[in-house]
Copies of this chain bind each other. A is one copy, B any other.
Amino acid sequence: MESGNNEMVPQWIQEIEQPAALVSYIYRTCQRYFAKELATYNLGWGHFAILMAVNEMDGPSQDMIARSRGFDKTMVAKSVIRLEEEGLVQRVTDAHDRRIKRLFLTEKGKTVFPELLQIGLTLNTAMFAGFGKSTSTQAIEDLRKIALNVSKL
């Protein structure tokens, strides 16, 4: 894996005209950051994203996580198995529909969660270094608008 901190990269970033290429670069670099930071937890970015979803949603099923986040179902299924092995999430059969397994953080998951959240917050802060408050808000709104645009592709 290449280091993100390469003298040729900033030059390319300055020259590139293709926003999709910038998004790709940001994504890959964030993913590398997560890989490094999450290694001690034996987790990758996919696991992290699913933990965030489990925390935000009210006992979601795997299928709900996949559909709401646009994730591949197989990726979610595999990640949930790992998260269970790590003792961070548990499956609970829905009280009204026994076919549905709902996901919740375990006690260990709840304990570890703030540390993981901090990894994400540190990344967000780094992403917007040098942005003012209003310009970072505007940039996030622009990202949201781009995300909505591409969701229609």
A interface vs B, CB < 8 Å?
1-2, 4-6, 8-14, 16, 18-30, 32-33, 45, 49, 52, 64, 66-73, 120, 123-124, 126-131, 135, 138-140, 142-153
Contact = CB atoms under 8 A, between A and B. Distances in A.
Contacts of A128: 19, 146, 149
A14 B147 CA distance: 9
Q: Which of A29, A144, A148, A153 has the most CB of B within 10 A?
A: A153
Given A33-B153, A142-B142, A49 B28 contact: no
A124 B19 contact: yes
Contacts of A70: 2, 4, 6, 9, 25, 28-29
A54 to B, nearest CB: 14
Contacts of A18: 52, 120, 124
Given A23-B23, A72-B2, A142-B142, A151 B10 contact: yes
Nearest to A125: B149
A140 B19 contact: yes
Nearest to A140: B19
Given A18-B120, A33-B150, A123-B150, 15 more contacts: A1-B72, A5-B151, A8-B67, A9-B70, A16-B144, A19-B124, A19-B127, A19-B143, A20-B127, A26-B150, A28-B71, A30-B153, A126-B150, A131-B145, A135-B142
